[in-house]
Chains A and B, each alone.
Chain A
Amino acid sequence: MRVECQECQKRPATVYFKHVINGEKKEVRVCEVCAQEKGYMQSQDQGSSLHDLLTGIFNFDTYPFGTQVSDKKQIKELQCPNCKLTFSAFKEIGKFGCATCYETFSERLSPILRRVHAGNTAHAGKIPKRTGGNIQKKRQLEEYRIQMKKLIEEEAFEEAAILRDKIKALETQGSAKRGESEG
């Protein structure tokens, strides 16, 4: 059964709770975005320390090194064209609304990812087996080219030629080579 958020009447309500004001009980059903905006989430204590920490990590208003004032306007204007999530809403809830968000907010993302993932900003793991074939091929080609360049510098032309043939073969391959799983 779908319950709509009583605030925005658009998104599904995922936060349910009872409000007691002057002994009067009131049930509130809102989505996470509105729950944050209306300040409902502040009284939620379970797990809030981690949540606060995370949103703290995502929050850049406290950035200590200048240049932020001019950026501020820009941050507010950033909005995902697909799911309509704004960057400030993201900072509040700490979650993205769709895959497109990563593209939309990509410029703002690096410092966040760096903080959460010990300085890392790029994926180094598995590539999907069926749909990731082209990426797998691209990575392999890059690797071959780097190796070939090195071999040429070392004047190991015979070995470089072998790689050149491999690159050609891979490039002319009509359908993408199946990506190996990380395993």
Chain B
Amino acid sequence: MTLEHFLNEAISPWMRKEGTDSDIVLSSRIRLARNFANVMYPILGKEDELKKVHDFMKDTYNKTSFQDYTDFHFISTKNLSEIENQILIEKHLVSPSLTRYPQSAALISKNEQVSIMINEEDHLRIQLYFPGYQLADGLKQASQLDDWIEGKVDYAFDEKFGYLTSCPTNVGTGMRASVMMHLPALVITKQMSRMIPAINQFGLVVRGIYGEGSESLGNIFQISNQITLGKSEKDIVFDLASVVKQLIEQERLARSYITEQLGISLEDRIFRSYGTMKNARIIESKEAAKCISNVRLGIDLGIIENISKNILNELMTLTQPGFLQYYANRRLTPRERDVFRASLIRERLELEK
């Protein structure tokens, strides 16, 4: 497999488009949790009932299209190899826990912007991704997609409690809106750790790149709403958006501050990371993430030229264990992964020339 071909498979088509404020916001996501009205939830559901949900979604929506989301492709998790499943997780198309549930599946649009998980914690987890900062429009599109599904599915809905989800932390709107942000200057200036408690005050949660419980890798943070009940979808998105706007502004200020204050030592830091990426023979994921973040900052600040901005999104995904093994076409020991990761990064930088 050539690297170009591999990249085409590895990077979702929507990720290649540039969105608003994409120097700081990598992607936006809206997720809606929905359930069938008369079927027990996957955590307790009987296999034959859950199979009905699985088969209904397959028969009704496989190979259909909705607006820009064409050629929905239905994948049963039981047909996936371990590495294939790992890759879907690393592309954020499915959650790590999906395979734990019987009769689980995913329905994914051709541009990979929409992924509907079937029989996860809830019967349906409808997810839409957008490049850059795109929450308001994202919400509108998510709601239309939801209406399209609801055209044929009777949802578990209650006048008082809203959309009834398996976990009471999702009940009401069933919506989780989130943005993935690259905030290196706020980390360098040590402001981020002070800001997280302030962000929590707004009913928002800050996490690392791979969701719940994961630590921040490469200065990437995911910010999402905690509250799903008692507020409208619009208000939830509005509250998230106002905090995100603030963070974008603060990150920009911090970037110009470090450019002025650190001068040559900032340049040194960035070029050292660039040097490591170009020359390392063994690199762990943590060090890789740090270097990739520094180089991306260098590109955004105009310190490094002639490298595409996409490199952060691309390499953060590509250097995950599942992708490395897919590229190597075999299982790799952790040490082998570090060697493979280093060589993949070098090859990717060669492509830029």
| A positions within 8 Å CB-CB of B | 1-3, 11-12, 14-16, 31-33, 46-47, 49-50, 54, 58, 82-83, 85, 93-99, 102-103, 109, 112-113, 116-132, 135, 138, 181-183
Once bound together, how far apart are the Cα atoms of A116 and B230, in whole Å?
11
Q: Does B65 contact A (CB under 8 A)?
A: no
Q: Does B121 contact A (CB under 8 A)?
A: yes
By a CB distance below 8 angstroms, the chain A residues around B212 are: 47, 50
| B positions within 8 Å CB-CB of A | 35, 37-41, 43-47, 78, 100-102, 121, 139-140, 143-144, 146-147, 150-151, 154-169, 171-173, 175, 203, 212-213, 227-234, 236
Once bound together, how far apart are the Cα atoms of A36 and B91, in whole Å?
31
A2 engages B47 (CB within 8 Å): yes
18 more CB-based (< 8 A) A-B contacts, given A93-B43, A181-B147:
A12-B47, A50-B213, A54-B169, A85-B44, A95-B167, A96-B168, A102-B158, A113-B171, A113-B229, A116-B169, A120-B172, A120-B227, A123-B163, A124-B172, A124-B231, A124-B232, A130-B147, A182-B232
A121 engages B229 (CB within 8 Å): yes
Chain B residue at minimum C-beta to C-beta distance from A123 = B162
Once bound together, how far apart are the Cα atoms of A1 and B162, in whole Å?
34
Once bound together, how far apart are the Cα atoms of A181 and B232, in whole Å?
11
B40 engages A83 (CB within 8 Å): yes
Measured CB to CB, the closest approach of chain B to A50, in angstroms, equals 6
B41 engages A96 (CB within 8 Å): yes
19 intermolecular pairs with C-beta atoms under 8 Å apart: A2-B102, A14-B102, A93-B43, A94-B168, A96-B166, A97-B166, A98-B39, A98-B44, A99-B35, A99-B158, A118-B230, A122-B160, A122-B229, A123-B173, A125-B172, A125-B236, A128-B157, A130-B150, A181-B147
Once bound together, how far apart are the Cα atoms of A112 and B139, in whole Å?
27
**For chain A, what secondary structure do more than half of its interface residues adopt (helix, strand, loop), or is it mixed?**
loop
Number of A-B contacts (CB under 8 A): 158
Chain A residue at minimum C-beta to C-beta distance from B121 = A95
A102 engages B228 (CB within 8 Å): no
A123 engages B229 (CB within 8 Å): yes
Once bound together, how far apart are the Cα atoms of A98 and B165, in whole Å?
8
By a CB distance below 8 angstroms, the chain B residues around A32 are: 43
Measured CB to CB, the closest approach of chain A to B238, in angstroms, equals 12
Once bound together, how far apart are the Cα atoms of A49 and B151, in whole Å?
39
B213 engages A49 (CB within 8 Å): yes
A122 engages B161 (CB within 8 Å): yes
The 6 closest A-B pairs by CB, nearest first: A120-B230, A123-B162, A99-B156, A97-B44, A117-B229, A125-B173
Measured CB to CB, the closest approach of chain A to B171, in angstroms, equals 7
Measured CB to CB, the closest approach of chain A to B201, in angstroms, equals 11
Known: A82-B40, A183-B143. A125 touches B232 (CB 8 A): yes
- Residue among A14, A95, A183 making CB contact with B140, cutoff 8 Å: A183
By a CB distance below 8 angstroms, the chain A residues around B172 are: 117, 120, 123-125
- Residue among A14, A33, A50, A135 making CB contact with B100, cutoff 8 Å: A14
By a CB distance below 8 angstroms, the chain B residues around A98 are: 39-41, 44
Once bound together, how far apart are the Cα atoms of A182 and B163, in whole Å?
13
Measured CB to CB, the closest approach of chain B to A129, in angstroms, equals 5
